[in-house]
Amino acid sequence: MIKHDELLTVRQVLNELGGVSRRTFYRWREIGKAPDGIRLPNGELRIYRSELNVWLESLREVA
């Protein structure tokens, strides 16, 4: 059985991060400090929940 990995919108990711601003999130992406994402054909960005979780865990390990 294949497990479905949820695709999150940027808004959902920002909410998960406790209200980080969109500008801050995109700045993190520019400098390579944000979770990996994919661009949909319409240009919107989506982040896999598993990628967000891995990224958050990496931040915990550094702290």
Question: CA-to-CA distance for 16 and 53, rounded, in angstroms?
Answer: 10
**Type and span of the H or E element at 25:** helix 22-30
Q: Is the pLDDT of residue 2 over 70?
A: no
**43 φ/ψ sector (left φ>0, alpha ψ -120 to 50, else beta):** left
Q: What is the pLDDT of residue 33?
A: 93
| Structure confidence at residue 4 as a pLDDT band (50, 70, 90) | confident
Residue type, 54: V
Q: Using the 8-state DSSP alphabet, how is residue 3 labeled?
A: P
What is this structure's pTM? 0.83
- Residue 26: name the closest of 53, 47, 57, 48 by CA: 47
Q: What is the pLDDT of residue 1?
A: 54
**Per-residue pLDDT tens for 24-56?**
999 999 999 999 899 999 999 999 999 999 999
